[in-house]
Every structure is written in structure tokens, then in C-alpha cells.
A and B are shown apart, each in its own frame.
Chain A
């Protein structure tokens, strides 16, 4: 009987410790990814189809905290000027220069592909992982932790994510995305570089396994902590 109690205590302690570790890792990853108060950057998006044909999009991006982002396309000409503003509580606006006004967009757009890329609006969302997912530590291997992350929201297009997190610096290096049928549908790989005190995801590649299609997002001219205010993430700025 004592042995059984000991095993139960051991198992419970281990499970709690594992869950806590996983959530701690997730929290630390958020702290690394969202450490800067704000960020301004240029982005080059290269979309490659299964035949190797490439298309390029360019944009400028501003971000503050974990839930404010302004993304404005600068190329190609057919998309230049189109901008999206993401605010807390799934409030999103789209600005199309030809309509001369902003348009509130429904949060169902989050499951859609972002501007023809392999990223969905959901993937592009600047929201902390801890807020979006519950985590379980599957294992540690080499210099990474392997986490299973399940969406907190039932509306998510994914059933789970399996992510490899760098043990030393807590940035993600690899993520698998699973659909509601538990099929692996996308893979993301990351290349981080250190700019000042912060780790910057200078290159993120998302591959759609079914379509054999990939998108590489390269971030450059990155500036951190320039003092962006909430006003910089307003409809006023979106229309400018």
C-alpha cells in the first residue's frame, strides 16, 4: 500500500513538474519573442510553388507588445498600400487604398491564408503563445525542448502544434502544425539572430506539406524600442 502511494505521489509530482516545465518554457519563449517593447521592420516574403516558381511581396511592419500590429504592403504594385491593423480582442481592420476607408474584418479571417502565403492570419497574429496554447513537454533532445501545444480556443484551425525550443535561448527552431484530423499539414523553420539585447526571427519558412508550397519571410532593417505608442496602432495611422 505504501509503495502504491509512493508511486502515485511520484507520478503526480512528475506530471505537475512536467506541465509546469512546459508552461515555463512557453512563458520563457514568449519573453524572448516579445521582449522588445516595440519593433519596426521591413519584410520580404518569398512564395515558392511546387514547381519552384517564386513570387515576392514586400511590406513594412510595426508591432507593439503582444497584440498590436500594423502590416502594410509595399510591393507588388497590385497590393501596394493594402494594410492590416490587428488590435487586442481579435479586432482587425483592413485598409484598401481604392476604397479610401478602413473596413472592420471579421475574426473568421484568421483561418484564411495571409495574402496568398502559407501563413494564416492566425499564424501571423502577434499574441503570446501562453495565451493561445496549453503546453506539454514531450521530451528533450540535443539542444531543444520538444513541446506539444494545444489551442485554448476551439475555433483554432489546428488540433496541436509540436515545437522545438532552443534550450539555451528559448526561441523556436522548428514547429509542426496539425489539423483537426490530427494530420501534419505545415512545418515552420526559424533562423534567429541577435540584434542588441533581443533575438530576432530574421527568416521564417512555412511549408505546406500537402501543396508542396512554401513561404519564406525575411525580416530586415529591424529597429527595437523606438517608443511606438498605442496611437501608432490606430485607424488614423492605418489610413495614412
Chain B
């Protein structure tokens, strides 16, 4: 019944949109553009393992309707990504293994301006709904799923199949709404950072992990279970851009809900089965941006309130075969209490072409619960030369503290200087380094063995 409702709703909007489009005499030409990008990385540490291999062809098609009544836009990635993992001769018959590639529709939507009312714009299709005023890391940007494939590409999200609208009360005061019928989880890092955001499983001696299985319970594809919705009120007053937002959705990261521990085949060996779910939550957001005395200032905060307390049950019954009752233990993974992630930041352009950007972040994308949020200090210093053809970023990176009571054992440092050169108007070469240091249970502290050299080339057409 609910699936039928979704279909009917979608059909209704598609019908309206189609009728609207057909009413327009489309006269503008399709614009075709894109990029060819290569991204290669290898580790400094011998034997200099290849850390990343990506060759991406981005295609963009867009077409504006007559009299600026709307537009169609799509962006597709055709990629050769990863390294061939050939283990048997039969793999050589599989071109997908010999030469791994994938095709990804990042966006494909129709946007109609002045739909039904001159103040209403709607957008239907796969779209990126980017929220927040902070630079790259936005605690309020929770409608699209995180795309964590490349953990060094902070803030990347995938597009969602959605219907969204913007209603403009005045040119500077608007209401945005989004409905996403199907839940999409975040995709996790690949390559050398594959385990970066996975929690570490530590067993007391003499136990060791022999087998690990995990199952994820995806939300049912029904209106109530799989939907995400968001609303945002945005305005401008006294020189300040402000917004308030609310999202009713699911956390994009799986949370363990039921673990089963059973004896392994070897002494001390344990098998662990983890069952995870995506919990529902409400997210209350606020952001602002302004400029005071030439300094750009922004702040963004999001309060996350889980719908229920997240309890993890650990079932050890298989360890005690003689027990007449199930041997289980419950522990709270996440309390039903609001926790806040926030960013404050500033930037300044100096007269000689220098640019400085600093940000403080409390709570990274994968961190949950008041007591688990770390502090991140980001800095970016940029200087351009030769008519902006050469851009240097000698000071770029982050300092992370996971425990202020013992900083020397609970910190991480990322240093990533970068130089990019515009060889022609449309061809850019980039070389950079990513150097990691740190201690403690912090995702970035785990990267200490992954110092790497990065080479990029991008051609726009």
C-alpha cells in the first residue's frame, strides 16, 4: 500500500513536471562539458605501494528551458578506479577484474523555476542538496549520503533521488523542503584507508578473533521506514546569512545492534557475528555566514537526537552450551540524548594574493554521542603566483585531539602541502603530499604508516 503511495506521489509530480515542460518551447541548446581527471598516489614507505589509482571522465549535460523557466542537468562519472586484483587465471577472462571501472550517475534532474507560483522552484530527480556555510565539512549537510570512498576528499556526498522545492517569500528569505523516498547509506572508504572508519575490535587475552561475519538490516522500503525529509528556513538580515533546518532521517553509518560470540576451531579463537541497523534520528541545524572588517566568518551547528536509545545485545550463549538460559549482555551504544557537532571558521584575503582559512570542528562525520566527539583544527594558507597560474598551499592540514586530558597520547596531525599549476586555461597539474602522525584511537592517528605522494591532472572541456 505504502509502495503504491510512493509510486502515485512520484507519478503525480512527474505528470505535473512533464505538463509544465511540454508547455515550454525549449529553444536553448544542450551544453556539454566535463573533465578528464587522473589521481595517482603511492606510499613513501618502502616498497612504495600504490595507494590510489583513479582515472575519471566526468560528463555534464545541461539544457536551459525557454525564458529561463527551468533546466535539465546531469553529471555522470565514468571511472577506472582501483587496482586489478587478479588471483586466478579465470580472473583474466573477466574484464571487470583486469580493468576495474564503474559508471556513476552523480546527478540527473529537472529543475523548474516559477512552478505553479512565480516564487516556487522545484527539482525532481537525482540531486545534490548541499547545506551548510562551513568549508567542506558541514554538520548540517545530512540529506545526501556521505561518499567516503576517498577519505581524504572531505565532505563528498552522493546524489539522492529526491523531490525538493524552494519557496521564496522575498529574494532573500526562503523555505526549502526535500523528500527522499529511499534510504541510502554512506559508502565506506576503499583502498589503503578501507578500515579507517571501522571500529577496532579488541578482545582480552587469551582470546583472538578467528572469524568475523556481519549482517546489515536495511530499513524496509516503505514510506515510513525508508523516507528522509528535510526542511530549511533561510534568510538574510543585518548583513548576516542565517538558516535553521530540520532533518528526519537515518544515520548513514551502521550501528551494531546484536552480536553473537561463538567458539572458534582453535584454542582461544572466537567467531563474531555482528548485526547492524541504521537508526532513525532528528537533526536540528543552524548556520550563519557574514563578513566583518574584511574577515569572512561562519558558524554551523547540528543537534542530533536519536529516536531511541541504541542498545547492543551481545549473545554469548554458544560459549556456554550447558546454560539453561540465554547468556546475553546489553550495552548502550548511543543514548537518547542530543549531541552537537559544530564548526566555526574564518578566512581572509591579503592584498598580496595570500589567502588564509581556519576552521574548528567538533565531531567528525563518523563520530556519534556526546562523549565520542573529537576536536579538529584545520588550516589552509594559499599563495598564488604568475597571474594565478601557480597556486601553492605550503601550510594545509589539521590537528586533531581525541582526549584533552592526555593530548600527547591522543592526537593526530595531518600535513598536506600542495602545488597546482594551470598549464593551459583548462589543464591543471597538482602535486601534493599527505603526512600523518598521531597516537590513540583516532581514525587519522591510524594513518601514520600511510604517508603518501599524490599526483593529479585535470583537463576541463
Question: Which A positions have Cβ atoms within 8 angstroms of B?
Answer: 47, 49, 55-56, 76-78, 80, 89-92, 99-101, 103-109, 111-113, 115-116, 155, 157, 211, 213, 230-231, 233-236, 240
Tell me the bound Cα distance from A96 to B126 in angstroms: 19
Q: Indicate if the CB atoms of A236 and B174 lie closer than 8 Å.
A: yes
Tell me the bound Cα distance from A91 to B347 in angstroms: 15
A to B CB contacts below 8 Å, 25 in the list: A49-B387, A56-B425, A76-B425, A76-B426, A89-B239, A91-B239, A91-B291, A99-B130, A103-B133, A103-B289, A104-B290, A104-B296, A106-B294, A108-B294, A116-B387, A157-B351, A213-B387, A230-B171, A233-B171, A234-B168, A235-B172, A236-B166, A236-B171, A236-B174, A240-B111
Query: Can you list, as one digit per residue, whether each of B105-147 has a CB less than 8 Å from chain A (1) or not (0)?
Result: 0000001010000000100000011111100000000000000
Query: CB-CB < 8 A to A235: which residues of B?
Result: 171-172
Q: Indicate if the CB atoms of B428 and A113 lie closer than 8 Å.
A: no
8 A Cβ contacts from B158-183 to A: 166, 168, 171-172, 174
Query: CB-CB < 8 A to A47: which residues of B?
Result: 387
Q: Indicate if the CB atoms of A80 and B351 lie closer than 8 Å.
A: no
Shortest distance in angstroms between B66's beta carbon and chain A's nearest beta carbon?
A: 14
Q: Indicate if the CB atoms of B113 and A240 lie closer than 8 Å.
A: yes
Q: Indicate if the CB atoms of B68 and A240 lie closer than 8 Å.
A: yes
Q: Using a Cβ–Cβ cut-off of 8 Å, how many residues does chain B contribute to the interface with A? A: 43
Q: Indicate if the CB atoms of B387 and A236 lie closer than 8 Å.
A: no
Query: CB-CB < 8 A to A55: which residues of B?
Result: 425
Q: Indicate if the CB atoms of A78 and B425 lie closer than 8 Å.
A: yes
Q: Which of the residues B33, B171, B387 comes within 8 Å of A80, measured between beta carbons?
A: B33
Does B453 have its Cβ within 8 Å of any Cβ on chain A?
Answer: no
Shortest distance in angstroms between A162's beta carbon and chain B's nearest beta carbon?
A: 21
Tell me the bound Cα distance from A99 to B236 in angstroms: 21
Shortest distance in angstroms between B77's beta carbon and chain A's nearest beta carbon?
A: 13
Does B353 have its Cβ within 8 Å of any Cβ on chain A?
Answer: yes
Q: Which of the residues B130, B241, B296, B387 comes within 8 Å of A106, measured between beta carbons?
A: B296
Tell me the bound Cα distance from A77 to B60 in angstroms: 11
Query: CB-CB < 8 A to A116: which residues of B?
Result: 387-389
Q: Indicate if the CB atoms of A234 and B172 lie closer than 8 Å.
A: yes
Does B460 have its Cβ within 8 Å of any Cβ on chain A?
Answer: yes
- Nearest CB to that of B34 among chain A residues? A77
Tell me the bound Cα distance from A230 to B170 in angstroms: 10
- Additional 6 contacts, C-beta under 8 A, given A77-B460, A157-B351: A77-B426, A80-B33, A112-B353, A116-B388, A231-B171, A234-B168
- Nearest CB to that of B238 among chain A residues? A89
- Nearest CB to that of B118 among chain A residues? A231
Q: Indicate if the CB atoms of A106 and B426 lie closer than 8 Å.
A: no
Shortest distance in angstroms between B155's beta carbon and chain A's nearest beta carbon?
A: 9
Q: Indicate if the CB atoms of A106 and B348 lie closer than 8 Å.
A: yes
Q: Indicate if the CB atoms of A111 and B291 lie closer than 8 Å.
A: no
Shortest distance in angstroms between B133's beta carbon and chain A's nearest beta carbon?
A: 7
User: Total number of A-B contacts with CB less than 8 angstroms?
Assistant: 94
Q: Indicate if the CB atoms of A236 and B168 lie closer than 8 Å.
A: yes
Query: CB-CB < 8 A to A103: which residues of B?
Result: 133, 289
Does B404 have its Cβ within 8 Å of any Cβ on chain A?
Answer: no
- Nearest CB to that of A75 among chain B residues? B425
- Nearest CB to that of A180 among chain B residues? B351
Q: Which of the residues B33, B121, B353 comes within 8 Å of A77, measured between beta carbons?
A: B33
Does B295 have its Cβ within 8 Å of any Cβ on chain A?
Answer: yes
Q: Indicate if the CB atoms of B349 and A111 lie closer than 8 Å.
A: yes
Tell me the bound Cα distance from A108 to B428 in angstroms: 26
Query: CB-CB < 8 A to B79: which residues of A?
Result: none
Tell me the bound Cα distance from A122 to B432 in angstroms: 33
Query: CB-CB < 8 A to A89: which residues of B?
Result: 239
Tell me the bound Cα distance from A116 to B391 in angstroms: 12
Query: CB-CB < 8 A to B132: which residues of A?
Result: 101
Given A76-B460, A80-B33, A240-B68, A108 and B113 contact (CB-CB distance below 8 Å): no
- Nearest CB to that of B128 among chain A residues? A100
Query: CB-CB < 8 A to B236: which residues of A?
Result: 91
Q: Indicate if the CB atoms of B425 and A104 lie closer than 8 Å.
A: no
Shortest distance in angstroms between B222's beta carbon and chain A's nearest beta carbon?
A: 29
Closest 7 pairs (CB-CB, A-B): A106-B296, A108-B294, A234-B171, A78-B460, A104-B289, A77-B460, A116-B388
Does B298 have its Cβ within 8 Å of any Cβ on chain A?
Answer: yes
Does B71 have its Cβ within 8 Å of any Cβ on chain A?
Answer: yes
Tell me the bound Cα distance from A175 to B131 in angstroms: 43
Does B461 have its Cβ within 8 Å of any Cβ on chain A?
Answer: yes
Q: Indicate if the CB atoms of A155 and B294 lie closer than 8 Å.
A: yes
Query: Can you list, as one digit per residue, whether each of B346-365 has a CB less than 8 Å from chain A (1) or not (0)?
Result: 01111101000000000000
Q: Indicate if the CB atoms of B133 and A113 lie closer than 8 Å.
A: no
- Nearest CB to that of B234 among chain A residues? A235
Tell me the bound Cα distance from A107 to B349 in angstroms: 8
Shortest distance in angstroms between B148's beta carbon and chain A's nearest beta carbon?
A: 18
Residue from B298, B347, B387 having most chain A Cβ neighbours under 10 A = B387
Q: Which of the residues A76, A106, A213, A234 comes within 8 Å of B349, measured between beta carbons?
A: A106
- Nearest CB to that of B296 among chain A residues? A106
8 A Cβ contacts from B211-233 to A: none
Query: CB-CB < 8 A to B113: which residues of A?
Result: 240
Query: CB-CB < 8 A to A157: which residues of B?
Result: 351
Tell me the bound Cα distance from A158 to B44 in angstroms: 47
Q: Indicate if the CB atoms of A78 and B428 lie closer than 8 Å.
A: yes
Query: CB-CB < 8 A to A91: which residues of B?
Result: 236, 239, 291
Tell me the bound Cα distance from A114 to B260 in angstroms: 61
Query: CB-CB < 8 A to A90: which residues of B?
Result: 291
Query: CB-CB < 8 A to B389: which residues of A?
Result: 116
Q: Indicate if the CB atoms of B296 and A105 lie closer than 8 Å.
A: yes
Q: Indicate if the CB atoms of A108 and B71 lie closer than 8 Å.
A: no
- Nearest CB to that of A102 among chain B residues? B241
Query: CB-CB < 8 A to B388: which residues of A?
Result: 113, 115-116
Given A47-B387, A236-B121, A236-B171, A106 and B425 contact (CB-CB distance below 8 Å): no
Tell me the bound Cα distance from A211 to B385 in angstroms: 12
Query: CB-CB < 8 A to A56: which residues of B?
Result: 425
